[in-house]
Amino acid sequence: MSYHSTAVYYQRVNAAVAARLGGHRSAPLIIGSVDFQTVRDFQTAEDWDGAGEYLADWACRLEKAGAEGLLIATNLMHKVAPAVEAAIAIPLLHIADTVAAAARGRGLARLGLLGTAWTMREDFYADRLARHGIEVIRAADADADLADDVIFGQLTQGQVTLAARAALLGITERLGLAGAEGVVLGCTELDLVLSEGASPLPLIDSTAAHTAAAAAFVLGEEAPAA
């Protein structure tokens, strides 16, 4: 939920709508840009009830402002998606549903999961992918810790280093050795540092999948997946 990935979301949704409609067209968006430190405090305290209430409050504000659909522009905070959905009447476009659709479109059914330690270790994300027939290959605990350190130590603060890229590519390679056919970039900051051309495995970019689904929703071309 850092502003770095929020900016990418804004650019990509607008670019997709402009490419589809041409001219000066852009996407009608209402953005709730939260103070990421507040979210981070909930995370480090593992106060998920508090985090759910915080994001649900923001979701209600967006609905009252006229939003017809909602995105949570982060993978990890979909851990509290049920609390957000319960607070609103508009549909939530769940990021894992869009990732599963992108994977199926490329014929990938066994995916490694790269993201924060919570996303990589817990079931909330893997179970959502499993609804769509996607098997998740889990990384070793040491690799989950390494990815978490890179994400929160660098990427959410807008820092990109060669060492970080090398560390994440190493995790990707080990997921492949464990049987993954591709790897989910399961953090919306990961595409700041990783790209398909440099990866040993196909990458399913959650940011790209989510923003493409958002643009389709804006254009009336796609309904949220169940």
Q: Which residues are catalytic?
A: 74, 187
End-to-end CA distance of the chain: 23
SS3 per-residue string spanning 13-35: HHHHHHHHHCCCCCCCCCCCCCC
One-letter identity of residue 209: A
SS3 content of the chain, % helix, strand, coil (to 5): 60, 10, 35
The secondary structure element, H or E, covering residue 217 is helix 206-218
- C-beta separation of 185 from 194 below 8 A: yes
- C-beta separation of 15 from 203 below 8 A: no
